[in-house]
């Protein structure tokens, strides 16, 4: 607690120092300044000669850049200069650059030895923009309500220190293709994205800053030390040194497709999230993570146990547990709530994730590029995806419970997975189990799916087996076929088998749309409002040995061909079989009271005939009028 009080006091003092250093000057209104070479400084500087000990000074000016797209533009200079105590505003950022001008309060292009200090830079495209400029200093400025507060592109050895950077539309500081930058003792507040975004930039030091998140993309050999931030993100980075940071909610997030993006960093337990240590283990064989940590990251590890931890955060941010390029890891009996991702498994195999409780995250358990893992007995509630697999094969998902998620279980481009004995409930506008896009040869067996928008949905995949599941949904109030509750939905699929399921109390029981070679057999389908089994624009479907009873329509075929109906029991439906522009190949053993055939084409032909008759009558009347003689008076 004392540490937090001291931290607040330091931040408050820091803000006071920055704002008191930006003195209120009697700024003179001035036209925008454009300097193209050392020779131009003498026209605008009030003192100095451009030397190290006597730099040019441009000061105490109020410049509106709305007409020129810049307030101060300095290009192609090597003289020493200072721009200080100026009010620079309203230089709008345009899509296309003209004469190297980007729409900035201050822009330096191909400049060295500049010092931008104690200015108010507000309402511009880029607040302060450095392009191809090295060895400059930006200090003690108040930078707010720009697109990016400070933007540096292709410039190295610059110093950014003691600036207040607030309420900018994108980032506080954005740096690309620049090395050896020092970013220190800056204060950030209410910038839309990151406080600091660093891209393709190396050997940069970020220290003693206060504010929001820091994001590094494709960076190498940088230092992030002694900052107070919401979080730190590393994307495809190498050799990042992270120490002594106090992180409020986001913790440390690592992304990357190669093991080197995960296991080459130096991250020790002096980094805190919510006042508790972050543990980062790499290249470890065996061991158990100590209790009391706030976040866990494993990379290239084997036989490690993560057990009985509470890695919850707040504000739906950060990772609870990350496991990458690892095998035989046990993740058991943990709590992970209010993170972005509760448990993240990437490029890892033969791990066990069991008996964890995960709620109020974006993804509860996220599995990417990982095979042959067991996900067993977890509780995943109130997440976007309870359990999500992407590009992951041969996993076993059993005995999990998911409630009030967008999808309790979600597969994308994942095949040969076993999804059995799970319970998915109360996703009233979403999915119980959703299998999507090239997810083939999966087995969905004996799952209980209750009160979801779509119970089980399989889209754009093939050769999946849906067997012995119990699906019962509430009824949606929307009458559209795309936006109403469906028990089992097969969409743009091939060779799906739907067998021995119970589907009751939905709007559409089993619905096969634009899918071919589906086998629908031995299902009990009853008490569905629109129909028990429905086909639309589908071919070569076999509907056999089903009990389809007490629905409004038993079997509904719409624009479907080569349908086999065989040995089905259809009782107590208002209409047992309804065909609309569809053909049945065989209907052996059909037990039915009512059987209707409708064709939309007869209505189309009738309407077309009527239109032709009316057109002919109009032509005849018109010709008759032309032939009538004119009478002159």
The whole-number pLDDT of residue 471 equals 97
The whole-number pLDDT of residue 309 equals 98
The CA dihedral of 460, 462, 468, 472, to the nearest 10 degrees, is 10
- Three-state secondary structure call for residue 304: coil
Banded pLDDT at 103 (limits 50, 70, 90): confident
Query: Residue 575: is its pLDDT beyond 60?
Result: yes
Q: How many CB atoms lie within 10 A of CB 354?
A: 18
Better-scored residue on pLDDT, 24 or 225: 225
Token pair of 175, please? 């740096």
pLDDT in tens, 282-325: 999 999 999 999 999 999 999 999 999 999 998 888 999 999 99
The whole-number pLDDT of residue 579 equals 92
Which range, of 434-448, 499-513, 570-584, averages the lowest pLDDT? 570-584
CA–CA distance, 201 with 205 (Å, rounded to integer):
11
Q: Exposed, middle or buried by CB within 10 Å (0-12, 13-18, 19+), for 612?
A: exposed
Token pair of 488, please? 């089992």
Give the mean model confidence (pLDDT) for residues 80-92.
Answer: 97
Give the mean model confidence (pLDDT) for residues 134-149.
Answer: 98
Q: What are phi and psi of 263, to 5 degrees?
A: -115, 15
The whole-number pLDDT of residue 92 equals 85
The whole-number pLDDT of residue 221 equals 99
Give the mean model confidence (pLDDT) for residues 419-435.
Answer: 91
Banded pLDDT at 459 (limits 50, 70, 90): very high
Give the mean model confidence (pLDDT) for residues 564-571.
Answer: 94
Mean predicted lDDT score pLDDT of the chain? 90
Q: Where are the domains of the chain?
A: 22-224, 273-603
Query: Residue 238: is its pLDDT beyond 50?
Result: yes
The whole-number pLDDT of residue 21 equals 47
Helices (runs of H) and strands (runs of E) counted in the chain: 4, 67
465-467 vs 214-217, strand pairing mode:
unpaired
Give the mean model confidence (pLDDT) for residues 129-148.
Answer: 98
Q: Residue 407 in contact with residue 427, Cβ under 8 Å?
A: yes
**pTM confidence score:** 0.88
CATH number for region 273-603: 2.160.20.10
Query: Chain-centre distance of CA 539, in angstroms?
Result: 36
The whole-number pLDDT of residue 430 equals 83
Which range, of 96-100, 225-229, 541-545, averages the lowest pLDDT? 96-100
Banded pLDDT at 478 (limits 50, 70, 90): low
Query: Residue 602: is its pLDDT beyond 50?
Result: no
Better-scored residue on pLDDT, 3 or 198: 198
State the CATH architecture for 22-224. 3 Solenoid (2.160)
Asked whether the domain spanning 273-603 has the same topology as the one spanning 22-224, the reply is: yes
Give the mean model confidence (pLDDT) for residues 555-578.
Answer: 94
SS (H, E, C) 483-527: CCCEEEEEECCECCEEECCEEECCCEEEEEECCECCEEECCEEEC
423-425 vs 401-403, strand pairing mode:
parallel
- Three-state secondary structure call for residue 347: coil
CA–CA distance, 425 with 470 (Å, rounded to integer):
11
Q: Residue 395 in contact with residue 422, Cβ under 8 Å?
A: no
């Amino acid at each position: 607690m004392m540490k937090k009080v001291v931290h607040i006091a330091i931040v408050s003092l820091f803000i006071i120092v920055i704002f008191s250093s930006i003195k209120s000057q009697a700024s003179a209104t001035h036209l925008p300044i454009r300097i193209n070479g050392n020779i131009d400084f003498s026209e605008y500087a009030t003192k100095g000669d451009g030397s190290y000990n006597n730099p040019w000074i441009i000061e105490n000016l109020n410049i509106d850049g709305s007409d020129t797209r810049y307030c101060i533009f300095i290009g192609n200079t090597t003289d020493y200069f200072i721009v200080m105590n100026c009010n620079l505003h309203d230089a709008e950022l345009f899509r296309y650059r003209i004469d190297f001008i980007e729409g900035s309060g201050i822009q330096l292009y191909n400049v060295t030895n500049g010092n931008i200090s104690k200015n108010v830079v507000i309402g511009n495209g880029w607040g302060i923009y450095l392009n191809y400029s090295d060895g400059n200093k930006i200090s003690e400025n108040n930078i707010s309500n720009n697109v990016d507060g400070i933007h540096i592109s292709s410039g190295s050895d610059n110093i950014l220190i003691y600036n207040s950077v607030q309420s900018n539309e994108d980032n506080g500081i954005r740096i690309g293709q620049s090395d050896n930058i020092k970013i220190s003792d800056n204060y950030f507040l209410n910038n839309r994205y990151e406080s600091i975004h660093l891209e393709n930039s190396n050997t940069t030091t970020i220290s003693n800053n206060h504010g929001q998140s820091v994001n590094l993309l494709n960076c190498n050999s940088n230092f992030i030390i002694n900052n107070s931030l919401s979080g730190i993100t590393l994307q495809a980075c190498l050799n990042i040194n992270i120490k002594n940071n106090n992180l409020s909610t986001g913790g440390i997030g690592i992304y990357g497709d190669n093991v080197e993006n995960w296991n080459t960093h130096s991250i020790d337990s002096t980094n805190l999230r919510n006042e508790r240590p972050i543990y980062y283990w790499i290249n470890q064989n065996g061991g158990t993570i100590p209790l009391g940590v706030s976040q866990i990251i494993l990379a290239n590890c084997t036989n490690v146990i993560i057990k009985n931890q509470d890695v919850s955060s707040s504000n739906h941010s950060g990772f609870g547990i990350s496991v990458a390029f690892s095998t035989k890891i046990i993740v058991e009996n943990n709590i992970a709530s209010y993170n972005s991702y509760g448990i993240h498994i990437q490029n890892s195999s033969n791990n066990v994730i069991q008996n964890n409780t995960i709620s109020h995250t974006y993804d509860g358990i996220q599995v990417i590029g990982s095979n042959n893992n067991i996900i067993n007995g977890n509780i995943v509630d109130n997440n976007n995806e309870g359990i999500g697999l992407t590009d992951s094969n041969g996993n076993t998902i059993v005995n999990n419970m998911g409630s009030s998620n967008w999808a309790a279980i979600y597969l994308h481009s994942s095949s040969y997975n076993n999804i059995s004995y799970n319970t998915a409930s109360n996703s009233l506008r979403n999915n119980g189990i959703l299998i999507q896009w090239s997810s083939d040869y999966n087995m969905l067996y004996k799952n209980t799916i209750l009160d979801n928008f779509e119970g089980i949905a399989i889209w754009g995949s093939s050769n999946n087996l849906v067997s012995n599941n119990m699906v019962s949904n509430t009824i949606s109030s929307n009458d559209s076929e795309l936006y109403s509750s469906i028990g089992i939905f097969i969409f743009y699929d091939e060779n799906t088998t739907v067998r021995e399921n119970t589907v009751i109390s939905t709007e559409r029981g089993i619905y096969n749309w634009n899918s071919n070679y589906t086998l629908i057999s031995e299902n009990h389908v009853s008490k569905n409002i629109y129909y028990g089994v429905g086909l639309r624009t589908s071919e070569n479907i076999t509907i056999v040995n089903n009990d389809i009873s007490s629905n409004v329509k038993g079997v509904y075929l719409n624009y479907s061909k080569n349908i086999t109906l065989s040995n089905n029991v259809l009782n107590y439906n208002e209409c047992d079989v309804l065909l609309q522009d569809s053909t049945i190949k065989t209907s052996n053993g059909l037990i039915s009271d009512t059987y209707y055939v409708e064709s939309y084409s007869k209505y189309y032909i009738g309407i077309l005939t009527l239109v032709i008759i009316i057109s002919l009558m109009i032509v005849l009347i018109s010709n008759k009028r032309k032939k009538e003689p004119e009478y002159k008076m």
